Amino acid sequence: MTVVIALTGIAGAAIGAGMSYFWLTRTNQKRFDHYELEAKAKAKAISNEAELLLQETEVKLKAKALEQEAEFQKRVAEVDERNRALILQQKELEKEEKRLHASYRDLQDKQDRLSELERKKEAQINEAIEKMESIASLTKEEAKRYILEKVESQSRSEVAAIVRKYEQVAKEEGEKKANYILAQATTRYAGEFAGERLINLVNLPSDEHKGRIIGKEGRNIKALEMLLGVDIVIDETPGVILVSSFNLYRRAIATRVIEILVEDGRIHPGRIEEVHEKVEKEFEQKTYEEGENILIDLGLFPMHEELVKLIGRLKYRASYGQNALAHTLEVAKLARIMAAEMGGDEKLALRAGLLHDIGKALTQDLGGSHVEIGAELCRRYGEHPTVINAIYAHHGHQEPDSVESAAVCAADTLSAARPGARREVLESFTKRVREIEEIATAKEGVERAYAINAGREIRVFVNAQSLSDNETVLLSKEIAKEIQEKVQYPGEIKVNVIREIRATSIAK
């Protein structure tokens, strides 16, 4: 019984163990199946992702390949274009080379023909001389001279070309340097210019003052004119009287005297003398102060007081309508710049320019040449010899002996000769202009001639069929030479000869 129970227990335990093993085995199998499915799913996902990455890589590679192919085609097209351009350039160069060869051959042919013509010309001249010797009983020299005179008229253009060539070579460097110096001087100097008139206007508070200025039986106006040395014009113009005189200094003093008398109201001969004496002293002091200020501004102080006073007085002096002080300052500053450009003494050139016309301050009182007066003044007051030489040289009394003197002469010509600087009497001006035009129109081949730029330039129009370009050069020189010999004029006159051919057609 006990054995049966034991066996039964053992059998039960075995059955339990077998069932446990079966259950565990079944459970593990399910777990393994789950893991297997999960692993297969992950593997498939990885495989799909790998395929997508592979496809994307292939797309990128294809795009890159297409881009490289397009870039390659572009470069190939550029190379082809450059090759075509090079081929075209080569063809153009070949054409140009052929054209140059043809031109060279043509030039050689023309040179050969010209040489042949020269030989024929010499032969014909010799033949003509022999015939003239036999027919006209001329000697060989006479016949040769006659032939050469005929040939000369035909060779004018050749002669003119040679003249123009060598003249240009000779003047090129000199003109370049001179133009540079003048351009530097004129562009760096800026001045103000005012035209001078022959009359001054004096404004009156009312017309009744005209009667008081005239005075009883005209004694006031007579006293004024005699004492002041001016003409006083009283007409119907309301509120003004005119003070007229060629002497700017006396005119300025007279104007100031009348203004003081009108303001004061007391007008009689005694009062006129008193006011005139007072104004004269004021003007003397004023001219000295003006001269002193100019010297200080230019850095030329000190200078003898008499010269200082005369510099200030140049303000009341005019020449051909040009204010003498404005002209003097212009010359001084231009001369300084020119002297600096040429390596000279700037201050000495400035001083010489300032004093070159100092004699004009006294010519209206003393008479005579302003050159002699100015040189004597500067010599008396111990000025530099270069200053005295510049005074003489700017009117040709001496040759310039220094760079500074030459600069003053050039600056004086620039200031005096520029258009509008000076005025002349209308009659003498029109006469000079007419003479210039008549000289030009008298030349053979000239159609028209016009004097312009205040008579400082003439334009000559010639017949293009009668004269060549080279012959116009000789014509301009002939006209300039004749003007120089026959006409009196300040500065210089520019001669322009113009030759042109105009062709006009009408399309219908």
138 within a domain of the structure (yes/no)? no
Residue 133 in any domain: the answer is no
Inside any domain, residue 364 = yes
pLDDT above 60 (res 337): yes
Helix 324-341 with 403-417: angle, nearest 10 deg: 130
Please tell me the least confidently modeled range out of 157-171, 197-211, 360-374, 471-485. Answer: 157-171
Number of domains observed in the structure of the chain: 5
pLDDT-derived band at 196 (thresholds 50, 70, 90) equals: very low
Q: Verify that 369 and 323 share a domain, yes or no.
A: yes
Instruction: Say whether pLDDT at 354 is over 60.
Output: yes
Of 362, 385, 417, the one marking the end of a domain is: 417
Residue 349 sits in the same domain as residue 242 = no
∠ CA 192-198-201, nearest 5°, is: 90
pLDDT of residue 320: 64
Residue 87 lies in a domain: no
Residue 323 shares a structural domain with residue 236: no
Lowest mean per-residue pLDDT among 121-135, 219-233, 341-355, 441-455: 121-135
Identify the three-state secondary structure at position 285: helix
CATH number of the domain residue 466 falls in: 3.30.70.1350
Question: Could you tell me the end-to-end alpha-carbon distance of the chain, in angstroms, rounded to an integer?
Answer: 155
Cα separation, 107 vs 113, whole angstroms? 10
For 30-139, strand residue ranges (E) read none
Whether the predicted pLDDT of 197 surpasses 80: no
Residues 177 and 216 in one domain: no
pLDDT > 80? residue 488: no
In a domain, residue 13? The reply is no
Shared-domain flag, residues 378 and 451: no
Q: How far apart are CA 161 and CA 170, in angstroms?
A: 14
Pinpoint the alpha helices (H) of 381-487: 385-393, 403-417, 426-441, 469-486
Calpha distance 435→340 (Å, rounded):
40
Residue 100 lies in a domain: no
352-385 burial: b if 16+ Cβ within 10 Å, else e: bbbbbbbbbbbbeeeeeebbebbbebbeeeebbe
What's phi and psi for 402, nearest 5 deg? Answer: -160, 165
CB atoms within 10 A of CB 159: 14
Does one domain contain both 309 and 388? Answer: yes
- Does residue 492 lie in a domain region? yes
| Res. 195 pLDDT band, cuts 50 70 90 | very low
Instruction: Tell me: do 266 and 354 sit in the same domain.
Output: no
| Alpha carbon distances (Å) from 434 to 335, 427, 454 | 34, 11, 12
Token reading at 282: 């004021």
What is the β-pairing status of strands 446-452 and 457-462? antiparallel
pLDDT at 51: 85
pLDDT 10s digits, 24-53:
777 777 777 777 788 888 888 888 888 888
For residue 377, the domain's CATH number is 1.10.3210.10
Among 358, 387, 417, the domain-final residue is: 417
pLDDT class for 165, splitting at 50, 70, 90?
low
Among residues 378, 381, 380, 303, the alpha carbon closest in space to that of 392 is found at 378
Domain co-membership, 439 together with 462: yes
pLDDT above 70 (res 330): yes
What mean pLDDT do residues 377-405 have? 87
Instruction: Determine contact, residues 306/377, Cβ cutoff 8 Å.
Output: yes
pTM for the whole thing?
0.46
Residues 413 and 305 in one domain: yes
What's the CATH number where 274 sits?
3.30.1370.10
Yes or no: say if 429 and 444 are a contact pair by the CB < 8 Å rule: no
Asked whether residue 213 is assigned to any structural domain, the reply reads yes
pLDDT of residue 194: 36
Instruction: Look at residue 439 and tell me whether its pLDDT is greater than 80.
Output: yes
Provide the β-strand partners of residue 318.
323
Per the prediction, the chain carries an average pLDDT of 78
Task: Quote the pLDDT of residue 168.
Answer: 64
Domain of residue 58, residue span: 21-70
Query: Residue 67 is which amino acid?
Result: E
Same domain, 334 and 412: yes
Q: Which of 92-96, 268-272, 501-505 comes out lowest in average pLDDT?
A: 501-505
Alpha helix stretches (DSSP H) within 314-449: 324-341, 346-355, 360-366, 370-380, 385-393, 403-417, 426-441
In terms of pLDDT, which residue wins out, 163 or 242?
242
The residues with which 446 forms a beta bridge, in sequence order, are 462
Which residues, in sequence order, are CB contacts of 435 under 8 Å at separation 6+?
486, 487
- Give residue-wise pLDDT tens across range 296-329: 888 887 888 888 888 888 887 776 667 778 888 8
306 and 278, same structural domain? no
Residue type, 160: A
Which of 352, 387, 417 marks a domain boundary?
Answer: 417
- Pairwise pLDDT comparison (366 vs 484), residue with the higher score: 484
Pair 238, 313 in one domain? no
